[in-house]
Amino acid sequence: MMKNPDSTLTRLADGSILPTLVLLMSTLVAVPLSAQDTTTSDQVRIQMTELGLMRTLLLLDESALESEDLIAEKLTEVDFRLVPAAHSVTGRMTPARVREIAESEDADMVLYTKTKARERKALQDFKLFEGEATTQIWIATTGELIASKTQRMTGVRTSDEFDAARSANERAVAAAAAAAIKMSLAKAHKILAHEAVLVNVFSDSALLAIMEYIGKMDGVYHVRRKSFDRETNEALLEIIGAPHSETFWRAYLEKMPKTKVNFRLNPNDEIRNKYPSWFLPAGGQ
C-alpha cells in the first residue's frame, strides 16, 4: 500500500515525532562518519607488521651441501625464518662478502658452514673418519660475526669409505651448527624483523627524516628502504629491532617532530604467544 506523502508533514506538524528527530540529529553530530578513521590527509600513516625472527640465509661450502636440511631444521626449531634455498660457496667469508650475498636474498642473518673428514686408523676392512666442521653466524646488515664454532666428531665405522666419511661430516656439522646457534641466541634470538608501509610521504627528504627518527628508537638496529612510489606517495621499510608493544611504538612515533603520525601494528600472534616475556616493559613480570 502506498503511503500518504503528506503523512510525514502531518506528523511533524503534530510534533509527535519531533523529539525523536532532535535526538537522532544530535547523535549524528556527536559521532561523525569518520569516527573509525581519524586519519587526515596531512598525517603519515604507518602500518607495521611483525614478520617474525630474522630471515636466515644458509651459505654452505661444497663439503657441507648434504647437511642443508639438518641445519635448516635446527634453525627453525628456535623459530628463525629461512631463505628457501641455500647458496653453495667456496673460499673465506668476509663481512663485505656476507653483506653482498645476503642483500641479494633479502636476508637478515647468515649461517655459513664448512667441513672436512680425515681418515682414522682402519680396523681390518672397516673405515673410520673424523669430521671437522666450522659454523659461523653473521648479522647480515652489519657484517658482525656473532658466533663461530668448530667441532670434531668421529663417524660410523663401515666398510664403505664414502659412507664412513659422510657420517663423520654429518655428525661434526650437526654439533657445530647446534653449538653456534645456541651461542647466537643471546644476540640474535630476541630480534624481530618488521615491515612498515608508509602512506602520505611526499618526498625523499621526508622519508629519510622518518627513517632517521625510527633508527634512533631504543632497540632498533637497522632501518632499510625497500621501495618508494612517488606517484602514490607510499614507501616500504624494513626495520630490524627488539620486540615492543603497540603502545611503545605508538608513543615514540607520535612524538616525531614536524610530522603527524597515525600508527597501526599487525602483531605476530604466534611469536607473541610463544615468547610473551619479550613484549613486557623493561622490568615487567
Q: Does residue 26 lie in a domain region?
A: no
> 182 and 59, same structural domain?
yes
> 205 and 159, same structural domain?
no
Give me the residue label for grid cell 608508509.
Answer: 198
For the chain, how many structural domains are there in total?
2
> 272 and 152, same structural domain?
no
> 181 and 128, same structural domain?
yes
- The count of C-alpha atoms lying within 13 angstroms of the C-alpha of 181, restricted to the half-sphere facing its C-beta, is 22
Q: Which of 188, 205, 228 is the last residue of a domain?
A: 188
CA–CA dist 140, 112 (Å, integer): 12
- Please list, in sequence order, all residues whose beta carbon lies within 8 angstroms of the beta carbon of residue 65, skipping any fewer than 6 positions away: 86, 88
pLDDT digits (tens, 9 = 90+) for 242-259: 999 999 999 999 999 999
> 172 and 230, same structural domain?
no
Regions in the chain scoring below 50 on pLDDT: 1-37, 284-285
Q: Residue 201 sits in which domain range?
A: 43-51+191-279
Q: Which of 140, 173, 188 is the last residue of a domain?
A: 188
Distances (CA, A) of 96 to 39, 100, 139, 221, 279: 43, 6, 12, 18, 33
pLDDT at 23: 38
**Are the C-beta atoms of residues 135 and 173 closer than 8 Å to each other?**
yes
Q: Does residue 61 lie in a domain region?
A: yes
pLDDT at 141: 86
Q: Does residue 119 lie in a domain region?
A: yes
Q: Which of 132, 156, 188 is the last residue of a domain?
A: 188
pLDDT at 281: 76
> 272 and 209, same structural domain?
yes
> 250 and 145, same structural domain?
no
Q: Does residue 109 lie in a domain region?
A: yes
Q: Does residue 88 lie in a domain region?
A: yes
Q: Does residue 273 lie in a domain region?
A: yes
CATH number at residue 218: 3.30.780
pLDDT at 280: 85
pLDDT at 124: 73
pLDDT at 19: 44
Q: Does residue 35 lie in a domain region?
A: no
pLDDT at 29: 39
CATH number at residue 161: 3.40.50.10610
> 73 and 181, same structural domain?
yes
CA–CA dist 5, 24 (Å, integer): 22
pLDDT at 20: 41
pLDDT at 3: 43
Q: Does residue 256 lie in a domain region?
A: yes
- Please list, in sequence order, all residues whose beta carbon lies within 8 angstroms of the beta carbon of residue 70, skipping any fewer than 6 positions away: 170, 173, 174, 177
> 251 and 222, same structural domain?
yes
